[in-house]
Amino acid sequence: MPNRLAPIILLTGTPGTGKTTHAQLLAQSSPVPLRHINVGDLVKEKCLYESYDEEWQSYVVDEDKLLDDLEPLAAEGGLILDWHTCDIFPERWIDLVIVLRCDHTELWNRLEKRNYPLKKIQENNESEIMQTISDEARSSYAEEIIIELRSEKTEDLESNIERIVEWIRAWKENREQSD
């Protein structure tokens, strides 16, 4: 999507890895305006789902409705898409994919604090151990736009935000030089 004034960053990872915390801080710290979109919240707010799965306590997303809703925003750029999956978004939309990773013991503790059902904690923990989202990102996007970052301590969060802000500055400079 040429001529955008700000990038689209996909922030993904297993639930509990810190996506929303990273996205909120990044939106505040970015040298260009970025709008944080928590895709799960958007799905609920705009009823972009087919049904609710009681067993998993989550919505079954209507991907077509979701993409139709996001398309005009993607054309403008300046987004942080915060979601636990990534293969749904068209490659042309995304400038950077950040996969947050977390030690599975820490992740288990975080999900317990959220009162997730045991089955959901086990499934998400297994997904993290098996690098499911990392593999999904690599099969969906060019290797050079994917960054995997640790997200276990406050220092990780601060360092990750600094690194992403530097990437945004470089992205902006490259755009300005090519205009």
- For the annotated binding site, the residues are 16, 18-21, 114, 153
Between 104-113 and 118-129, two packed helices, what is the crossing angle to 10 degrees? 150
CA dihedral 25, 30, 32, 37 (to 10 degrees): -30
Strands 58-61, 49-53: parallel, antiparallel or unpaired by DSSP?
antiparallel
Binding residues for ATP: 16, 18-21, 114, 153
Nearest in space to 41 (alpha carbons), one of 4, 64, 17, 69: 69
Which backbone phi and psi does 40 adopt, to 5 degrees? -60, -45
β partners of residue 99: 12, 148
Q: Rounded CA gap, 33 and 7, in Å?
A: 9
